[in-house]
A and B are shown apart, each in its own frame.
Chain A
């Protein structure tokens, strides 16, 4: 497709992003298929032409893995998709994932110049377009670099570990990736649902790409149990270790009734649904228990995913219960939008105080109290204060607790010489180096629960530092 000058001028003035076609809400809540379909080539070229190709491109500063955004967008605008995906992959080994789940509105697109007066360029959608274009065509394996003879162990196959592994392999190191679960991907596999990130079509193929770079993947190995970090050095002959074990420990509310039947942590709920494919029970052996009226406590991505999964599993009524107001909701804008379209009811400024059960121990309700916002707290968000006497009982039979995760203590407990932070995180400097020489860490295990792209950024930075460390050995 060739655009003339007029068309380009027009596109450069176009205020809105090109919309991405998607499944209608009433249809999609009946299936597990991906919601947005992605751009076709024509729309991608048009959207790419909305980019002004800024000299001092601010958008790049918003990308933790340093994607050369104007350069890849220019290639899309020119219809040079093969070169575009190469450019993108120079920095980002998981573009099909990022194009789908990055919170672009607070990353690259937040700094886009066009965003000042109109909608920013749809950087994420263009990224997804190129990645899907390549997946459809068949992914090329880059040539293997000469081996450095150095051995590196990566712990955890989430976005941080996968990125570090891919980058270190590209530098010629021998990389072995250890994963506790039977499958790779971390949260991308067990947390984020199929309808947002297809597992076989997208995630598995990006993991296969990382493996094709020469990374050996060993699943079913729990570091701290099957092998310890100390043993990786002393017995398995690794010269450096990267820890990217994420924040997998579910938080509970610590209110009465939380162990009643029908109360799940979001981790359990989503792991059953996604990793174990409980939505396909009994074709798959793992079941999931769901009533008719579901309350999900929390308003982050995890909560939205739990709520939208509940709908697809057949719940008649799904509520989000959140103690602050809509302005403070931490989920991606698109997820909140999608959840609303699908009929999830938002109960804001509401906090659970007690879960009520029947004589057999099944949930029958949740007592909540209304909240109002006070002065900002440590996190800078308005502190919610209970309104006395405003208690009421919510009539629900399933409750999903999605109020956050802490780092799993397994590695901190079993590794010598690691400095641990106040919330159980591993302390690391800007380059990912921990207090123990040769041990690097990044992603949620260092920052606490954050985002895919920040975890990838940390993996990338640490890979560079590890390369330096290994060369100096």
Chain B
């Protein structure tokens, strides 16, 4: 059993948890993720390692409540325990030690991009961050992101905070500004956002990486459920990724595969809402 030692609400449907998992904490590196299962009947879901503390033996996860499992997770409190928690999985991200990076995080992607930005920052790189969400209430980790970024730009689709529009609008300005060299771009968010960014940066020939989030089962390379075409080759996101060269990723296929279980996800969520009597919630974040 893995105990939740800290819980914090970041926004309406975003929560942060610190979970006791000493073996995972000892090894965790930026870019990697864990898989957890809440209870015996639960699904295995992947979440990015947002932070880790070797001394305390804890892993921090940040998640948005989008469906049955993440809602159920959000309903747990400090002192509760998770049945399973395994990791660190996936490849650690490659970290250059100097240069200028632009980090683009959208909606669900702000949580997983934060540890990467922090790592870039600690490695001595200059990071310009652009974060966006549908509306101001869904924006998370603003202070945390500001602390590790040289500049922080905020956008909301509805204009309730920062720039009224998309992260790609701000990014375009930076791409066009020839006076400032960009060494690398990292984008994490909903698939449509990552796809737009990839298409946007390609003509400029700037290295762009994305962290993918396909459906997973085991997370160790044994099922192939997380397969994705990268540069025409089939890769398993859980062992070869989750970070890939954005210009090589077949986003169309990825989007399609991500929708495979939509009816079942809805069924599970409806059943959960009925049983817990908690209703409502926001199921279309991004």
A residues in contact (CB < 8 Å) with B: 180-182, 219-222, 225-227, 248-250, 252, 258-259, 261-262, 264-265, 267-268, 271-272, 276-277, 281-287, 289, 360-361, 408-410
Given contacts A360-B256, A408-B220, contact A281 B27 (CB under 8 A): no
Segment among B38-46, B120-128, B129-137, B195-203 that sits at the interface with chain A: B38-46
For residue A262, which residues in chain B have a CB less than 8 angstroms away from its CB?
260
- The A-contacting residues of B in range 131-177, CB under 8 angstroms, are none
Jot down 17 A-B pairs with beta carbons below 8 A, ordered by A.
Answer: A180-B86, A181-B218, A222-B89, A226-B87, A250-B223, A258-B234, A259-B227, A259-B229, A259-B234, A281-B268, A284-B41, A286-B217, A287-B264, A287-B267, A287-B268, A289-B261, A410-B220
- How large, as a class, is the contact surface on chain B? 35 or more
> Across the interface, do B220 and A222 meet the contact criterion of CB distance under 8 Å?
yes
Can you name the residue of chain B whose Cβ is closest to the Cβ of A218? Answer: B23
**Assembly CA distance A361 to B253 (angstroms):** 8
Closest to B257 in A: A261
Q: Is the CB of B264 within 8 A of A281?
A: yes
Instruction: Check if B220 sits within 8 Å of A268, measured CB to CB.
Output: no
Q: Give the dominant DSSP class at B's interface.
A: mixed
A282 contacts B271, C-beta separation under 8 Å = yes
CB-based closest 10 A-B pairs: A287-B264, A248-B222, A268-B223, A285-B43, A361-B256, A265-B224, A182-B84, A220-B86, A268-B225, A286-B43
Chain A residues positioned under 8 Å from B261 (CB to CB): 287, 289
**CB-based contact A289/B264 at 8 Å:** yes
A408 to B220, alpha carbons, bound, how many Å? 9
Out of A225, A284, A289, name the residue touching B27 (CB < 8 Å).
A225
- Write out the residue numbers on chain A whose beta carbons fall within 8 Å of the beta carbon of B257: 259, 261, 361
Which residue of chain A is the closest to B271 with respect to CB atoms? A282
For the complex, what is the distance from the CA of A257 to the CA of B224, rounded to whole Å?
15
* A384–chain B nearest beta-carbon distance, Å: 24
A410 contacts B256, C-beta separation under 8 Å: no
Q: Which residue of A lies closest to B261 (CB)?
A: A287
B88 at the interface (CB under 8 A from A): yes
Q: Which residue of A lies closest to B24 (CB)?
A: A226
Alpha-carbon distance A410/B89, docked complex (angstroms) = 11
* B56 proximal to A (CB < 8 A): no
Q: How far is the CA of A259 from the CA of B27 in the complex (A)?
A: 32
For A251, the closest partner residue in chain B by CB is B224
B239 contacts A410, C-beta separation under 8 Å: yes
Contacts of B87 in A (CB 8 A): 222, 225-226
Most chain B C-beta atoms within 10 Å of own C-beta, residue among A182, A265, A276, A285 = A285
> For the complex, what is the distance from the CA of A182 to the CA of B267, rounded to whole Å?
25
List A contacts of B84 (CB < 8 A): 182, 219-220
CA distance A237 to B227 in the complex (A): 37
On whether the beta carbons of A182 and B41 are closer than 8 Å, the reply is: no
- Type the 1/0 row for B76-110, where 1 means its CB is closer than 8 Å to any CB of A: 00000001111111000000000000000000000
CA distance A287 to B83 in the complex (A): 19
Q: A225 to B253: give the CA distance in the assembly, Å.
A: 29
Nearest CB of chain A from residue B262's CB, rounded to whole Å: 10
Report the bound CA distance from A220 to B264 in whole Å. Answer: 27
Residue in A227, A249, A262 with the greatest tally of chain B CB atoms within 10 Å: A249
Interface centre among A222, A265, A272 (most CB of B within 10 A): A222
Question: Contacts of A284 on B, CB cut-off 8 Å?
Answer: 41
Give chain A residues whose Cβ lies under 8 Å from the Cβ of B37: 182
A182 touches B217 (CB 8 A): no
Interface positions of B from 199 to 254, Cβ below 8 Å from A: 217-218, 220-225, 227-229, 234, 239, 253
Q: Quick check: B217 and A410 within 8 Å, CB to CB?
A: no
Checking A226, A252, A283, A408 against B221 with a beta-carbon cut-off of 8 angstroms, the contacting residue is: A408
Do A249 and B221 contact each other (CB < 8 Å), given the known contacts A226-B24, A286-B43?
Answer: yes
Q: Please name all residues of chain B whose beta carbon is closer than 8 Å to the beta carbon of A282 when the two chains form the complex.
A: 264, 267-268, 271
**Cβ of B23 and Cβ of A221 under 8 Å apart?**
yes
Contact of B14 with A by CB under 8 A: no
Shortest Cβ gap from A116 to chain B (Å)? 42
Q: Is the CB of A221 within 8 A of B86?
A: yes
A182, A250, A284, most chain B CB atoms within 10 A = A182
- From residue B10, how far is it (CB to closest CB) to chain A in Å? 24
- Check B68 for interface membership: any CB of A closer than 8 A: yes
**Cβ contacts under 8 Å, A409 to chain B:** 221
Q: How far is the CA of A222 from the CA of B87 in the complex (A)?
A: 7
Residue pair A259, B253 in contact (C-beta under 8 Å): yes
Q: How far is the CB of B1 from chain A (nearest CB, A)?
A: 10
Q: How far is the CB of B252 from chain A (nearest CB, A)?
A: 8
Residue-by-residue, is B8-32 near A (CB-CB < 8 Å gives 1, otherwise 0)?
A: 0000000000000001100100000
Contact in complex: A265, B223 (CB < 8 Å): yes
Shortest CB-to-CB span from A296 to chain B, Å, is 15
Bound together, the chains give a CA A259 to CA B226 distance in angstroms of: 10
Among B42, B86, B88, B271, the one with the most A-chain Cβ atoms within 10 Å of its Cβ is B86
Task: Output the residue of A180, A264, A277, A286 with the most chain B CB within 10 A.
Answer: A286
